[in-house]
Amino acid sequence: MSASPRILGLGDNTVDTYVDAGRQFPGGNAVNVAVLARRRGAQASYLGCLGDDEAGALIHAALQKEGIELGRCRRIAGGANARALIAHNDGDRRFIGSSPGVRARYDFTDEDFAFIAAHDLTHTSINSDLEDALPRMADAAPCLSFDFSERWTQEYLARTAPEVDIAFLSYPRQPDGACEDLLATCAAHGVAVAVVTRGAAGAIACVGGRIYRQAIVPTKIVDTLGAGDGFIAGFLLAHLRGAQTSDALAAGADYAAQVCTWQGAFGHGAAWHGSVSALG
């Protein structure tokens, strides 16, 4: 694998809106992983659906500045971009509302799947509304990575995990045994590389039947938003470059700590003058 692999972020985007500070930041798992991988030397693309409003323009401009390939990205005329509203209590974030906007208006073409096939790895997420397209995506992508976040269920895993090569799942505040059982479930569904992140307890992975563990990397926290996506980007790049699983986990933990040192998932903040009630 090249030292500069081609990574495609496919699917969800949002504008993370800090209502108490009146600030907004481009984000979304697929967007964040593409940008953070690009900052670590990957060639990165994004395929998703942006509104033609202020929020969509904010994301589009940030992606251009970060050097992300946008040739297959949609701008939906007359459409509102996805947005998440976030409050902070003593430094801890709390999601208080969201709107999906136009983020799922893909209308895939054969050219899109050829674009997927041209990348070494495609990463998407449970927030991307791509379940029906996953089989064809899996056929096209040389490697398909999927973030199940905390929203996974056993039924959802049974439906989607067989299409996935690399799975990331969040399972905080759970004992080792429960995490290992979750990894075993992923392996039984055919997932080659499964990683469970556990908040302050670090991460645990299963590759080839072997269990690996990784502690968090201490850091000075400015904002934890995007830390999990930093972990994913760091892990994926190290993995694609041929690192051992233990080293890939360490790279993920290190990058997650770095992401915590700035505001937003990858910066590019702007003033926000909207209202919480606007999301209905």
> By the 8 A CB rule, do 16 and 25 touch?
yes
Q: Report pLDDT for 94.
A: 82
- Is pLDDT above 80 for 105? yes
First to last CA, the chain: 47
Q: Across residues 21-35, what is the average pLDDT?
A: 97
The Cα–Cα gap between 234 and 242 comes to 13
pLDDT in tens, 197-207: 999 999 999 99
pLDDT band, very low/low/confident/very high, at 278 (cuts 50, 70, 90): low
pLDDT in tens, 160-204: 999 999 999 999 999 999 999 999 999 999 999 999 999 999 999
Query: Residue 28: what residue type?
Result: G
Helices (H), the chain: 29-39, 54-65, 110-117, 134-140, 154-160, 176-188, 227-240, 245-259
List phi, psi (to 5°) of 210.
-100, 140
Q: Report pLDDT for 93.
A: 75
pLDDT in tens, 200-233: 999 999 999 999 999 999 999 999 999 999 999 9
Ordered structural domains, the chain, with CATH: 6-275 (3.40.1190.20)
